[in-house]
Structure 1
Amino acid sequence: MAGAGGPLSRSGLRGREQELGQIEALVTSVARTGSSGLALIRGEPGIGKTTLLAAAVSTARQSGYSVGVGKADELHHIVPLSSLAACVLHGDRPLLSAGTFADIARNHDQRIWLLERLAEAIEARAGNMPVLIGLDDVQWADPLSRFALRQLPLRLRTSPVLWLLAGRREPAGPAEEIVEAARGSLPVATVALGPLSGAAIAQLAGDTLGTAADERIRDLLDGAGGNPFLAVEMLAALRDAESSDDLVPRGLVVGVRGRLRSLQADTLRFLQMGAVLGRRFGFHDAAALCGRPAAALINALEEAVGAGILDDDGDHLVFRHDLLRQAVYVDISPSARKALHREAARGLVAAGRPPVDAVSHILRGSAPGDEEAVSLLRRAAEDVLPVTPGLAADLMTHALELVPSARPLRYAVGEQTILFLTRAGRNGEAVSTGDRLLAERPPLEEFSRLQAGLGGALWNMDRAAELRRRAEAALATAGAVPRITARLTALRTLALSRDHDLVAAREAGEAALRAAVQAGDRDAHTLALSGLGEIAQNAGENALALDRFAALSALDSAFLPEEIIAHLHVDDFDAGGRLLLEATEAGTTRQAMLSWAQGQHDLGLGRLDDADAAFATMEHLENEVNAPVQQVNGRVIRSWIALLCGDRDAARLHLAAAREGLEAKPNPGNTAAMRFLEALHADADGDPGLCVDRIRQVERVGPFMRWRVLRDWAGPAIRMALNGADEELAGELAAQAAAHAERNPSVPTATGVAAHARGLVENDLTALQRAVEVLDSGPRPLVRAAAAADLGRTFLAAGRAHRAVPALTHARDTLAATGARAAATLVQRDLEKAGVGSRKPAAVQRPVQGWEALTASERKIARLVAQGHTNRSAADLLVISPHTVNTHLTSVFRKLSINSRVQLANLVTALPGD
């Protein structure tokens, strides 16, 4: 500790030995185990959080850590990633160069992509040494940094990364959000700092004054309430007033505000301007706010630094503690503060700073009718929309509040607000905002614009009928300019894609496409092609759907996943695979939808483990950005996969999740998929009556073959109908499959499924043989195996066991190769009825723990990671996304009961050679 006249920066460690030991134990544990950890230091201002964090950082450096530490700022909490930037750009070995960081933040418009780049940089560094990332004043972290801090500790939990946060007590604040996200996945320590004991305060007095505190000083220090910062400030004043005989030295008041009263008027004014700008500010910015040249304020600056109020790091001035800034700030009258913030915003923009840097001042200094503030908020919202759409929506909402209802500007701001709320996934708010504006009876053109702006939110909320009604009402007013008319027409097409009359929908879509092209409006063009693609896929016209979605992805590469899936519907898995690789390498902005396409690709090729991982990844990514689009269908497929593999517990969990998702998103497609999944579960439970009931419910929602998720399952659906003695239902399904094949004559799966359906309904061995033959030329092993199994069973029922055996063997081996162990076991039982035993069980139940519990993909990834590969390098080798690697790796660690890459490497090394 410092003696008399020495530095006071570590004085807060007095009385904190236990807390420091707790954090140092975590520092040691992360370095030793190779797995991550998180610690939160929390307490009131001045209680010693920053000092304790600094001591922990010093320990980590001495232990060989690569350290990056930053500090969030109250008035800079709007700037995306500003808080975390300091952590990765500064320190002994910066994780990223400033140029690389700028490229990451500037060139991509997806939070998930940006997050993965940060994770890769940290993971790569952690492969060589443990990493500490510390953030002080986390309560003021910007939204994107908060998002990253909620996700990165989980993403990097198998690497030696220690996250060290310090912040104020806020039960529902950012710090608690981050801790709750990490809890249960990695070690979490919460270090709560309370007031120092009287003994510790007395030790502080001895450190500062160089002598034991007498009764007079102890009485004075009681006013600090155990707060070390306040105590140190009081002790500093005592030390500086040693010659005074006063009981209370001149200028000392309990707290910090009294220290300011001895300053010159110019110095106090300068400090007040700095306090308005924030804890960290530029000398020239403060001088400009004072209305004086910088040279005239040098003496004021020197006095503020000499008094221990400010530190000067050469680039910026920084209040030595936020309590000092607050003490200066609250002495400015509220009306003056508001005016100064408004002037600060104007000055920052005039100096060439981006609008987002001025936003905090705008929010504190603007008043209704301030159109300059509205303009700045709109520009800032546009800048941050790509990476923090929620923040952009908040800024636009505030901008709208500043525009009185009588101003023409109100509807333009309102339209932008609706669009940004929709982009942020806040669809309900978008609709309510639009309805409030519409209730103000805007001019006809503005009425049409607002209705067009609401289209995306209504579509996201599955309110297709309302979308159609609103679009038609707006079109009927004839008040819109051509491009808005084109958008409304295209939105109507999108709504009609859910309608029963798809012929009329297609005609409307063609008209919408012509209108979009003629108007030259890209949004309308995108909407029209999207609607036409949806209509074609719902009608089962797969080649036409591919044409539409290929044109759509050419117009906007963000829609590449839709083109990939369209290729799969025509059995062109080669093209789909090439596009998946292209999209993965390019880093599409729609990572969740790309994972959905990857899952469909893997499912079609019978890679059940990979498909399950892709759908799990998709759900995780959708949750990250609050955009649950495919989660019901994803859970439906995962439940079906679990049934095929014999994992009934997982199948039931996915079924429950699908039901929950359906309640939130009860559209016809989700409903149909859910009812069919219930039929599959009823079949597994031996309840044919319930199977028939659920398939009938699918038919009531719409024709079975309309629902894309179900088309390849027509054979199992017909088999369940026949088992339930509903030949009429089976015939209806077979007729739909035949019509679907007629629309897709060049697609082997469509032709083969139709032959399979006819063979089952008519008990026609020739049709079943034809189905197997056609499906063998296609890419889908599960569909092929289902047809082969039914062919074998039909031969067996006809007493032709010798013909049944080859078909059943083919089905069993195909299913076993995909990992569908339960389905393979069922076929094996049919083989046994045919008199064919098995040298080994067709489907050995995979254990739930240990190396043998790992799937083939998980083993590949485990070996690569054990060799030192990062998620990115493993993904590149396996031609999948890093997100999918992370999903597999999470499963690997759970099954192996380990929590670090070091443990994985040791385990793999100890395995016997394959």
Structure 2
Amino acid sequence: MMGSGESLTRSGLRGREAELEQLQALIASVARTGSGGLALIQGEPGIGKTTLLAETVTRARAAGFSVGLGKADELHHIVPLSSLAACVLHGDQPLLSDDAFADLARNQDQRIWLVERLAEAIEGRACSAPVLIGLDDAQWADPLSRFALKQLPARLRTSPVLWMLAGRLDPAGPAEEIVAAAADGLPTVTVPLAPLSGAAIRQLAADTLGAAVDERIRHLLDGAGGNPFLAVEMLAGLDSPEASGDLVPSTLVLGVRGRLKSLQPSTLRFLQMGAVLGRRFGFHDAAALYGQPPAMLISALEEAVRSGLLDDDGDQLVFRHDLLRQAVYVDVPPSARKALHREAAGRLVAAGHQPIDAVPHILRGALPGDEEAVALLRRAAENVQPVTPGLAADLMTRALELVSPARPLRFEVGEQTILCLTRAGRSREALSIGDRLLACRPSLEVISRLQAALGATLWNLDLADELRRRAESALAVGGAAPEAAARLAALRALALSRGQDLAAAREAGETALRAATAIGDREAHVLALSGLGEIAQNAGENAVALERFAALSTIDSAFLPEEIVAHLHMDDFACGGRLLMQAADNAGTMRQAMMLWAQGQHDLGLGRLDDADADFATVERLEDDVQVPVQQVNARVIRSRIALLRGDREAAREHLVAARERLLVKPNPGNTAAVRFLEAVHAEADGDFGLAVDKIRQVQREGVFMRWRLLRDWVDSAIRMALRGADRELAEDLAAQAETHAERNPATPTATGIAAQALGLAKNDLALLEHSVALLKASPRPLVRAAAYADLGQALLAAGRNPQAAAALTQAHAMFAESGAHAAAARLRPDLDGAGAGSGRMVTKQRPVQGWGALTASEKKVARLIAEGHTNRSAADMLVVSPHTVNTHLTSVFRKLAVNSRVQLANMVMAVPDADRS
């Protein structure tokens, strides 16, 4: 008879030949094509998932794959990155060294950055050999590993990386989430494992027993229901004194109970302590929970290993199968389990484990009023909040439930819960908890702290008026501690930035800043500077906004994107570019999506439409990844305008639809004004000038502060719409607005030039249009200059000054075309013909939809670098862009060229004639 601890690799595959062939084909496909793949092995516990996964890994190794294989653990399912760490750190040649992984862990406060660094490491390994990354028991993957695994397969789809997950059937489980996220761009295979046939079970029994299977054993095996693990455990129990030929166990507990009862009582008790700790546990931890010195339990350990229930890997003890652990665990009375879990939590912390390691036991064992458990949950939440804010919010919600309503601690825990929920994007839940706590009539000091904590909540919910009302009310009743009072004052100023009286808002912000500086409260200081920056932007005072945001990013580098954009509003693209490069070197501390937003503004301003479109597409993807929609409406608005400039009306309409959909999620005044303006642009493109004028009037009427932010560089477009709609009053109002903006920004060439252009259009004044072109020669924005030259050229043409008109229109055409604004350039051809410039020589060839010619200039650069063997990171370094942007370009390249791997891409690039590669 085969010992229960012996390998069942071969016999465990009885009846799985078809499934193994399916997985073998996927291995061969990844190795042959050089592109990625994903497989999910699913089935009930004990059905053979682990055995099939192990055999597939063995075959992949034989095929030359570099393998990382790990196993998620039920009682570690909340420890950040624990599941993925098991995959990349284990094996003969780990995908990452312990030191490299530790370096990643130190910077895991940015989930997107962490995923990108993991992708770079795996991509680098895949350059020399195909890679297989397998995760068993995926149903227990921790939240951060789940987040990474939802991004990585799609991110690495162009590299030979095979992802293999094994897990229980759960339509809403982690494994299904990961497969769904990768399904659009990656070959995926789902392998469901059904119960084995009777013939396969009998073959398995013969393998195990080393002898023919008689009628008595066949009858016993019927109780396994085709589950190979249960069948083997039943066979292993045949030698037990408890076993009987007349007994057909219906569950695993009955199947192994005979074996457990044959153990010494001390061994059984030791196993029960281990089962409480988890499938993997430390000998010292189990001994401590048992209440015995380790030396007294060596014989118990030896018997547990000898019986085939435990394995000893030298560092930890492991139940040979989780079903065995569960069979031991369920025999511990529920009340005892609860008490043991609570004791286990305390002992783990006392032994030096991190709070998060004790949290699973706290969640199972803590009772209301357990303030030590509350303290552990709070510490754990604080530790994981930067990495997995959703988990931190869950932990704090549980901590709040454990605090007695009569204890003052409830308000302190409630404040932390509000902050965690808000940072996790669960603002409505945070507001509900805050209001429930306020209804308990706490002291005035507590009220002020709770209202201050709710400030970010209300701001995220776009409830600026409610934020102002609450801040003013809390300040009016008094009793606030200095820090809370300073934060409330800063929040009030921030709320006032959305109102019409910006002078009052500025005064409130300055007062709040002085208070924050006086008491040295960092949070109040950040809030005050942020509010003052917003107020300055809404007032069109770009230099003041830059001063505020520069001071803010000095205190907290996370606000560097705001400083960069403020530099761009001042036409200082050189400084903005330097800061973008600086941010690339310190990406681990930045808000990745907002940095891409700043990059997109930089590229758009410099007329790099292809790069800008990729940047804003990446912003949306990254915000989707972390489920924090900040710039999605504005990104779609800009991408729609870019598509119109290029002449892609279908894409422009798709972006408009998407912008409207996202507006429903975040319907604040700024987003509303942005979408209304885009609707005006589309109405003009459709020839409906009356509708365009109506939409512009809505922007002017409903989005007062957006006069400065939205129409900063687009006011000339709005004026043309007004003139075409025969609304000269609106045109003059817009021109006056541009003039006021220039007065507030006299050192910014774009502002002064656009003001002259706007007034020239409104008054049909040729001299002003000539002056605007002269002023804008100092502007770094080619699309702004091109529009001014076009306006001047058309005015000159109307005045009969054809030679001068031809020169201006030729300049405009060239700048539009160079930026990729081919539709804008094409609209000038009739005027060029009218001026005698011969626009036939300037026809811009329309880019095809598929093939090498369909690629943008940036996409061609990326394609060439990747074909030369560069990784996304090294290509990004060469192009001085973000790896995320390279990934966006590469996705488009693969789609347009209809290739699936870097090998195919390299072959295609090599086949392109040298003359056509640029």
Do 1:257 and 1:324's aligned partners in 2 also have CA atoms closer than 8 Å? no
Distance change (3 Å), C-alpha of 1:227 and 1:723: same
- Secondary structure in 2 matching 1:373: helix
Distance across 1 between alignment mates of 2:194 and 2:715: 66
SS of the residue 1:712 aligns to: coil
Cα deviation digits, residues 812-838 of structure 1 (max 9, x gap): 000000000000000122112223323
Matches within 5 A, 1:777-816: 777-816=778-817
Separation in 1, partners of 2:260, 2:472 = 66
Q: Measured at CA, do residues 703 and 295 of structure 1 come closer, stay the same or move farther in structure 2, by a change above 3 Å?
A: closer
Greater shift, 543-552 or 694-703, is seen at: 694-703
Instruction: Name the structure 1 match of 2:635.
Output: 634
CA distance in 2, matches of 1:461, 1:880: 33
- 3-state SS in 1 of match to 2:255: coil
Cα deviation digits, residues 333-374 of structure 1 (max 9, x gap):
111000000000000000011101000000000011000000
d(CA) in 2 for partners of 1:245, 1:283: 34
Give, as a single letter, the amino acid of the residue that structure 1 aligns with 2:583.
A
On the 8 A contact 2:220/2:245 being kept in 1, the answer is: no
Residues 198-597 of structure 1: pairs in structure 2 closer than 5 A: 198-238=198-238, 240=239, 255-587=255-587, 588-597=589-598
Q: Which moved more, 1:276-285 or 1:170-179?
A: 170-179
- Tell me how far apart the structure 1 counterparts of residues 73 and 258 of structure 2 sit (CA, whole Å): 24
SS at 1:411 equivalent: helix
CA distance in 2 between partners of 1:719 and 1:610 (Å): 27
Letter in 1 for 2:74: E
Structure 2 length normalisation: TM-score?
0.98
The one-letter code sitting in structure 1 at the alignment partner of 2:689 is P
User: Cα–Cα, structure 1 residues 347 and 704, in superposed 2: closer, same or farther, change >3 Å?
Assistant: closer
Per the alignment, residue 185 of structure 1 pairs with 185
- RMSD across aligned C-alpha pairs, in angstroms? 1.8
CA shift at 1:110, angstroms? Answer: 0.8
TM-score (norm 1): 0.98
CA shift, 1:256, in A, is 2.8
Aligned to 1:658: 659
Which amino acid in the other structure matches residue 214 of structure 1? Answer: D
Gaps of 5+ in 1: none
The number of equivalent residue pairs is 913
2:70 match = 70
Is the Cα–Cα contact under 8 Å of residues 526 and 555 in structure 1 kept in the other structure?
yes
Give the deviation of 1:304 after TM superposition.
0.6
1:241 & 1:424 partners in 2: Cα distance?
A: 53
2:851, 2:896 within 8 Å by CA — same for their partners in 1? yes
Q: Residue 843 of structure 1 corresponds to which residue in structure 2? A: 844
The secondary structure found in structure 2 opposite 1:711 is coil
Separation of aligned partners in 2, 1:368 and 1:322: 30
Aligned residues of 1:266 and 1:300 also touching (Cα < 8 A): yes
Could you tell me whether the CA contact under 8 Å between 1:109 and 1:589 is conserved in 2?
no
1:113-166: per-residue Cα shift (whole Å, max 9, x none)?
111111110010011111000000000010000101111111111111101000
Aligned to 1:606: 607
Rate the CA distance shift 1:598–1:245 in 2: closer, same or farther, 3 A.
closer
Q: 1:41 to 1:768 in 2, by over 3 A?
A: same
Deviation for aligned residue 1:874: 0.7
- How many Å separate the matches in 2 of 1:494 and 1:252? 62
Is this contact kept in 1: 2:498–2:705, CA < 8 A?
no
Q: Which residue of 2 aligns with 1:726?
A: 727
Deviation at 1:98, TM superposition (A): 1.0
Q: CA deviation at 1:221?
A: 0.6
The one-letter code of the counterpart of 1:664 is V
Q: Distance in 2 between matches of 1:276 and 1:841?
A: 77
**Mapping of 1:693-708 within 5 angstroms?**
693-703=694-704, 706-708=707-709
State the partner residue of 2:163. Answer: 163
Alignment partner of 2:135: what SS?
A: strand
Deviations 1:653-690 (A, max 9, x none): 10001111111111111111111111111111111111
State the shift of 1:715 in Å. Answer: 0.9
Question: For the residues of structure 1 that align with 2:474 and 2:392, how far apart are their CA atoms?
Answer: 27
Deviation for aligned residue 1:839: 4.5
Relative to structure 1, is the Cα distance of residues 3 and 203 closer, same or farther in structure 2, using a 3 angstrom cutoff?
Answer: farther
Identity of aligned residues (%): 74
Residue in 1 aligned with 2:824? Answer: 823
1:453-505 CA-to-partner distances (Å, cap 9, x unmatched) read: 00111111111111111111111120110110000000001101101011110
Aligned residue number for residue 172 of structure 2: 172
Q: Please give the per-residue CA displacement for 1:29-70, whole angstroms capped at 9, x wherever unaligned.
A: 011111111100011000000000000000000000000000
User: For each residue in 1:787-832, what CA deviation from the matched residue of structure 2 results, as whole angstroms up to 9, or x when unmatched?
Assistant: 1101111111122222210010000000000000000000122112
In 1, are the aligned partners of 2:4 and 2:308 still within 8 Å (CA)? no
Q: Distance in 1 between matches of 2:891 and 2:252?
A: 57
Task: Give deviations 1:426-460, integer Å, cap 9, x for gaps.
Answer: 11111111111111111111111000000111111
Q: Distance in 1 between matches of 2:283 and 2:385?
A: 31
Check if 1:857 corresponds to 2:858: yes
Alpha carbons of 1:379 and 1:539: their partners in 2 closer, same or farther (altered >3 Å)? same
- Do residues 911 (structure 1) and 912 (structure 2) align? yes
Q: CA 1:244 to 1:688, structure 2 compared with 1: closer, same or farther past 3 Å?
A: closer
Q: Which residue of 2 aligns with 1:12?
A: 12
Give the partner amino acid of 2:874: S
Distance 1:255 1:797 in 2: 96
2:48 aligned with 1:34, yes or no?
no
How far apart are residue 840 of structure 1 and its match?
3.9
Distance 1:912 1:419, change over 3 A: same
Q: In the aligned structure 1, how far is the partner of 2:525 from the partner of 2:724?
A: 48
Range moving further from structure 2, 843-852 or 192-201: 843-852
In the other structure, the counterpart of 2:771 is 770
Is the CA contact 2:220–2:248 (under 8 Å) kept in the aligned structure 1? Answer: no
- Whole-angstrom distance in 2 between the partners of 1:236 and 1:508: 78
Which 10-residue stretch deviates more, 592-601 or 799-808? 799-808
C-alpha displacement of 1:107: 3.2
Query: Secondary structure of 1:139's partner?
Result: helix
Please tell me the residue identity of whatever aligns with 1:597: A
Deviation at 1:184, TM superposition (A): 1.7
Instruction: Give the whole-Å Cα distance in 1 for the aligned partners of 2:448 and 2:753.
Output: 48
Q: Is the 8 A contact 2:809 2:832 kept in 1?
A: yes
Return the alpha-carbon distance in structure 2 between the equivalents of residues 880 and 265 of structure 1.
65
The corresponding residue for 2:873 is: 872
Q: How far apart, CA to CA, are the structure 1 residues paired with 2:7 and 2:777?
A: 80
Give the Cα–Cα distance (whole angstroms) in 2 for the partners of residues 331 and 252 of structure 1. Answer: 12
**Given that residues 688 and 723 in structure 1 are in contact (C-alpha distance below 8 angstroms), is that contact kept between their aligned partners in structure 2?**
yes
